[in-house]
C-alpha cells in the first residue's frame, strides 16, 4: 500500500479492494472510507502540515499533509530531464503528469536553447503526435485515417502557432485526465501548485532559453495561467492568457440564475474525460496508450476518486466554500509577472464578466496589458492579435527585439483561413533595452471594436484603464410609451408576462424577436452625435411582481438607421438577490449569499450588465429590453424560476420608481465612419420591431 501526502489531501493506492481505510487525526474524530475497485482512496479537506495516520488492519502509515508553502528543492526540479515527445514529470505530492515537449518547427532540442512556452490544460494537449506533422501529412494525403494520438484543436496556439514563431512548447496535461496521474478537481489547490512545479521543472532544462519559460493559451489554457501565476513560481517569465474567466459564479450562476448552457455541458465533458482509461469517456489518446504505456496505465489508479465537478458547479448557489476555493478572480491580483491578456465582449462561452475585474491584473502589476475587443471566444486567436502577442512574448520570454515570423505568416492561410498581413513591427531593429522601454510605455488597455466574421476589428482606441480614463457615467431613464431618456415627471409602470418558454432558450439559431406581452422595450430618441459605450454598465429597476421571486433579463442593443437592431450586451438577475456589498452606478456588487423575497409594491433591483464597448452612431437609437431570462445569448440557457408558473412583472418609472440604465461614455473617442456589418462577430441582428409598450 502506498500513502502519499498532498496539499490538504492524502492519497492511498494499492490497498486491498473494499478494505476499510481509517484516517486518524490528533484532536479530531477518525475518518473512515472504503478502498475503491482500484484499491485507492483520497482523504480531503485536511489541515496544511497536519500529522495524520492511515490505518488498514494492522498496517499504519504516518504522513504530514503538505502546505502550499512546502516547495520542493532545486534538486527535485533538476532531477527531471525532459526529452522531445511524451514525458512523465513528478509533482511535489508524487503525482506524475503527462507532459509533451515540442521544439520549434524544423528544429530538435539539441538546436536550443529556445524561448519556451508552457500550455497547461485539461484538454488533450499532451497527446504525443506532432500536430504540425499531422497537418502536413493530411494535406498530402487527405485519406489518412485519424491518429488517436494527435492533440485536440485546443492546442493550436501551443502545438502549432508558437512553434512556427520560433518557440519550443511544453504541453501539460491536467492531473486526473488523459495519461496524467491523480484525480481531477478543477481549480483546486493541487492543480494550481502543479503549475508551479511544472514551471520550475521546465526552467531547469538546458534547452530553455534564459531558464525562464512563459505560459500561453486560450480558454482552459488561459485561466490555468492565472491559477499558476498566482502561486508565483520564481522562474516564470510572463503569461499570455486569452479568453479566460474569473469568477466561476459569473458563468455558472450569472445573476443568481443557473446557466445550463455552455458551462454546464463543458464541465460534463470534462467530468466524462476523467473516467479511467480505457473507457468510452476517457480521452482518445489515453485509450490508445494505456495498454502499452506502463506510466499511463499506473496513472489511472486514482480516477475513481475524482470529485464530481458538475455537481460542485451545480451546488455553487448553496455551497459557498466550494465556490470560494475555485474562484480565480482573487488570483488576478496575485499575478506579478508580465501579462498580456486578451478578452472578447461577446464571448459566448466565458463571457466578458472578467473584464470588470481586469483592474486587479493591472492595479499592482506595472507590466500588465489587456486587450478588450468585440467578438466571440475564439476571436482572441486571430491575425489581428498575433503580431502584438508575439511582440510581447519576444520581449519578455525570448528577451529579444521583436522579430518577423515568416513561417507563421506563410502558414496563416491554413491556420486562420486567410493570410496574415505582414506588418513590420514598430520595434523591429530597435535595440532590446529600448524596445522593452517603448513597449512598457504603451497604454495599459487596448480596445478593438466592430469585428467582422473572419476578419479583424475595424477600429480601436487605447486608455490607461477600464472603463477608459475620463469616461462619464450616463444615465437614461425608462419611461411611458417605451421611451428612454431624461428623468420623467409622470409616475407609471408597464407590465409583461415573464414566460421564458415564449422564446427559444438561446440565440444560437438566430436572434429571435420578443413576443408582445413577453417583454418591454424602451428606446431613446435618435442620437445627435456618436456615443461610445465602454465599460461595465448596470440597470436600476423598480420591480413589482405577482411572484415573490422572479428572474429579470436586461438587454442593450442599437437600433440603426437602416432598420436593423444590433445586439450589444445583456444580463440576467434573480430579484431575490437585491442586497449590495458596494460598487457604484455602473458596477453594483451584489450580495449573492443573501436572498430576500419581493415585498408588495415596487422593489429596487440592481442588475449588473456584462461589460461592453460599442459605438452608437449618430442617428441610431439605444434600446433596452426587459423580459424573461433567455434568448439573447448564443450558448447560454437558463433554468428560470419563472418557468413553472410565469408571473406578471411590472417595471415602474417616474419620480418614485425611477427605473434606469447607466453606462460609461468614453470621451474624446471618435469611431470610424460608417455602420459596421450587421451581424458582426458575436453581435447578432434582427429587424427592429417595437414592443406593445411602444419601445
Q: What are the pLDDT digits (tens) for 663-673?
A: 999 999 999 99
Does residue 210 belong to any structural domain of this protein?
yes
Closest by Cα among 186, 189, 166 to 176: 186
As for how many domains the chain has, the answer is: 3
Which three-class secondary structure state does DSSP give residue 354?
A: helix
In the sheet with 368-373, reading across from the earlier edge strand, the strands are 85-90, 96-102, 168-173, 116-121, 214-218, 239-242, 339-344, 368-373, 445-451, 457-463
19 & 78 share domain: no
Is residue 494 a part of any domain in this protein?
yes
Please check whether residues 135 and 24 belong to one and the same domain: no
Determine the longest span between alpha carbons in the chain, in angstroms. Answer: 84
Q: Are residues 16 and 93 in the same domain?
A: no
Domain identity same for 60 and 78: no
- Quick one: CA torsion of 104, 105, 110, 111, rounded to 10 degrees? -80
Q: What is the model's pLDDT at position 314?
A: 75
Q: Which domain-ending residue is among 11, 41, 64?
A: 64
Q: Is residue 491 part of a domain?
A: yes
Has residue 694 been placed in a domain?
Answer: no
pLDDT score recorded for residue 425? 66
Is 69 inside a domain boundary?
A: no
Beta bridge partners of 521: 625
What is the structure's pLDDT at 418?
64
- Residues 420 and 484 reside in one and the same domain: no
464 inside domain: no
Give the integer Cα–Cα distance in Å for 638 and 255.
11
pTM of the model: 0.95
Label each residue of 411-431 as H, E or C: HHHHHHCCCCCCCCCCCCCCC
Neighbours of 488 (CB within 10 A): 17
Pairing of strands 9-13, 41-43: antiparallel
Question: CA of 609: how far to CAs of 425, 581, 598, 631, 677, in Å?
Answer: 37, 16, 21, 16, 24
The three-class DSSP label of residue 30 is strand
Count of other CB atoms within 10 angstroms of residue 417: 9
Q: Tell me which residues of the chain have a pLDDT lower than 50.
A: none
DSSP state of 295: H
Q: Is residue 527 part of a domain?
A: yes
Among 420, 442, 464, give the residue marking a domain's end: 442
Where among 16, 36, 64 does a domain terminate? 64
Same domain, 501 and 546: yes
**Residues 435 and 480 reside in one and the same domain:** no
Q: Quick check: helix, strand or coil at residue 392?
A: helix
Domain range spanning residue 54? 2-64
> Which CATH number goes with the domain that contains 613?
2.60.120.260
Same structural domain for residues 547 and 482? yes
Q: Distance between CA atoms of 189 and 175, rounded to whole angstroms? A: 12
Q: How do the residues of the chain divide into helix, strand and coil, expressed in percent and rounded to 5?
A: 25, 30, 45
Q: What is the CATH number of the domain that holds 46?
A: 2.60.40.10
Residue 430: predicted pLDDT: 87
User: Are residues 243 and 129 located together in one domain of the fold?
Assistant: yes
Same domain for 659 and 541:
yes
Dihedral pair phi/psi, residue 665, rounded to 5°: -100, 120
- Indicate whether 452 belongs to any domain: no
- Sign, CA dihedral 457-458-461-467, equals negative
Cβ atoms within 10 Å, residue 490: 9
Q: Please indicate, yes or no, whether residues 540 and 558 belong to a single structural domain of this protein.
A: yes
Co-location of 222 and 174 in the same domain: yes
Amino acid at each position: 500500500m502506498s500513502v502519499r501526502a498532498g496539499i490538504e489531501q492524502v492519497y492511498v493506492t494499492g490497498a486491498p479492494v473494499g478494505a476499510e481505510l481509517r484516517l486518524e487525526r490528533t484532536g479530531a474524530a477518525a475518518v473512515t472510507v472504503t478502498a475503491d475497485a482500484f484499491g485507492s482512496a483520497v482523504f480531503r479537506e485536511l489541515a496544511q502540515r497536519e500529522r495524520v495516520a492511515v490505518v488498514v488492519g494492522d498496517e499504519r502509515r504516518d504522513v504530514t499533509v503538505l502546505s502550499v508553502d512546502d516547495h520542493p528543492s532545486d534538486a527535485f526540479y533538476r532531477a527531471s530531464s525532459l526529452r522531445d515527445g511524451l514525458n512523465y514529470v513528478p509533482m511535489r505530492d508524487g503525482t506524475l503528469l503527462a507532459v509533451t515537449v515540442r521544439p520549434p518547427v524544423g528544429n530538435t532540442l539539441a538546436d536550443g536553447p529556445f524561448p519556451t512556452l508552457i500550455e497547461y490544460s485539461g484538454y488533450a494537449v499532451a497527446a504525443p503526435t506532432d500536430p504540425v506533422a499531422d497537418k502536413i501529412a493530411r494535406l498530402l494525403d487527405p485519406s489518412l485515417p485519424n491518429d488517436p494520438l494527435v492533440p485536440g484543436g485546443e492546442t493550436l496556439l501551443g502545438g502549432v502557432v508558437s512553434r512556427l514563431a520560433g518557440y519550443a512548447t511544453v504541453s501539460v496535461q491536467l492531473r486526473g485526465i488523459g495519461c496524467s496521474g491523480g484525480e481531477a478537481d478543477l481549480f483546486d489547490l493541487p492543480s494550481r501548485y502543479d503549475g508551479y512545479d511544472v514551471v520550475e521543472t521546465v526552467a531547469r532544462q538546458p534547452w530553455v532559453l534564459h531558464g525562464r519559460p512563459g505560459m500561453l493559451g486560450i480558454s482552459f489554457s488561459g485561466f490555468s495561467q492565472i491559477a499558476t501565476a498566482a502561486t508565483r513560481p520564481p522562474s516564470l517569465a510572463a503569461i499570455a492568457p486569452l479568453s479566460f474567466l474569473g469568477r466561476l459564479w459569473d458563468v455558472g450562476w450569472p445573476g443568481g440564475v443557473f446557466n445550463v448552457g455552455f458551462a454546464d455541458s463543458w464541465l460534463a465533458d470534462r467530468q466524462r474525460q476523467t473516467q479511467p482509461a480505457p473507457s468510452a469517456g476517457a480521452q482518445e489518446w489515453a485509450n490508445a496508450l494505456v495498454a502499452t504505456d506502463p506510466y499511463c496505465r499506473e496513472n489511472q489508479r486514482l480516477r475513481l476518486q475524482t470529485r464530481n465537478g458538475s455537481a460542485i458547479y451545480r451546488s455553487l448557489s448553496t455551497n459557498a466554500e466550494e465556490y470560494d476555493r475555485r474562484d480565480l478572480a482573487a488570483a488576478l491580483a496575485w499575478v506579478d509577472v508580465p501579462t498580456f491578456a486578451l478578452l472578447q465582449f461577446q464571448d459566448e462561452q466565458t463571457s466578458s464578466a472578467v473584464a470588470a475585474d481586469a483592474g486587479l491584473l493591472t492595479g499592482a502589476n506595472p507590466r500588465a496589458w489587456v486587450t478588450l475587443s468585440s467578438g466571440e471566444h475564439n476571436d482572441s486567436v486571430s491575425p489581428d492579435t498575433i503580431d502584438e502577442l508575439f511582440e510581447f512574448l519576444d520581449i519578455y520570454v525570448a528577451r529579444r527585439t521583436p522579430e518577423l515570423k515568416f513561417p507563421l505568416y506563410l502558414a496563416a492561410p491554413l491556420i486562420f483561413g486567410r493570410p496574415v498581413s505582414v506588418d513590420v513591427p514598430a520595434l523591429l531593429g530597435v535595440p532590446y533595452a529600448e524596445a522593452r522601454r517603448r513597449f512598457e510605455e504603451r497604454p495599459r488597455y487596448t480596445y478593438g471594436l466592430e469585428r467582422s466574421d473572419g476578419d479583424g476589428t475595424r477600429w480601436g482606441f487605447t486608455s490607461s484603464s477600464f472603463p477608459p480614463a475620463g469616461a462619464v457615467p450616463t444615465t437614461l431613464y425608462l419611461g411611458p410609451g417605451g421611451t428612454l431618456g431624461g428623468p420623467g415627471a409622470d409616475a407609471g409602470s408597464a407590465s409583461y408576462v415573464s414566460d421564458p418558454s415564449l422564446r427559444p432558450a438561446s440565440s444560437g439559431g438566430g436572434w429571435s424577436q420578443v413576443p408582445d406581452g413577453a417583454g418591454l422595450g424602451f428606446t431613446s430618441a435618435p442620437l445627435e452625435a456618436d456615443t461610445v459605450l465602454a465599460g461595465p454598465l448596470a440597470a436600476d429597476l423598480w420591480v413589482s411582481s405577482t411572484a415573490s421571486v422572479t428572474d429579470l433579463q436586461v438587454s442593450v442593443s442599437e437600433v440603426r438607421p437602416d432598420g436593423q437592431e444590433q445586439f450589444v450586451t445583456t444580463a440576467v438577475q434573480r430579484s431575490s438577490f437585491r442586497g449590495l456589498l458596494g460598487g457604484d452606478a455602473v458596477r453594483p456588487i451584489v450580495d449573492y449569499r443573501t436572498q430576500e423575497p419581493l415585498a408588495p409594491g415596487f422593489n429596487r433591483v440592481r442588475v449588473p450588465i456584462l461589460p461592453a464597448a460599442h459605438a452608437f452612431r449618430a442617428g441610431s437609437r439605444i434600446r433596452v429590453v426587459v423580459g424573461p431570462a433567455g434568448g439573447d445569448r448564443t450558448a447560454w440557457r437558463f433554468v428560470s424560476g419563472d418557468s413553472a408558473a410565469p408571473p406578471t412583472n411590472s417595471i415602474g418609472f417616474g419620480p418614485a420608481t425611477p427605473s434606469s440604465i447607466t453606462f460609461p461614455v468614453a470621451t474624446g473617442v471618435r469611431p470610424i465612419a460608417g455602420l459596421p456589418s450587421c451581424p458582426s462577430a458575436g453581435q447578432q441582428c434582427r429587424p427592429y420591431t417595437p414592443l406593445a409598450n411602444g419601445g
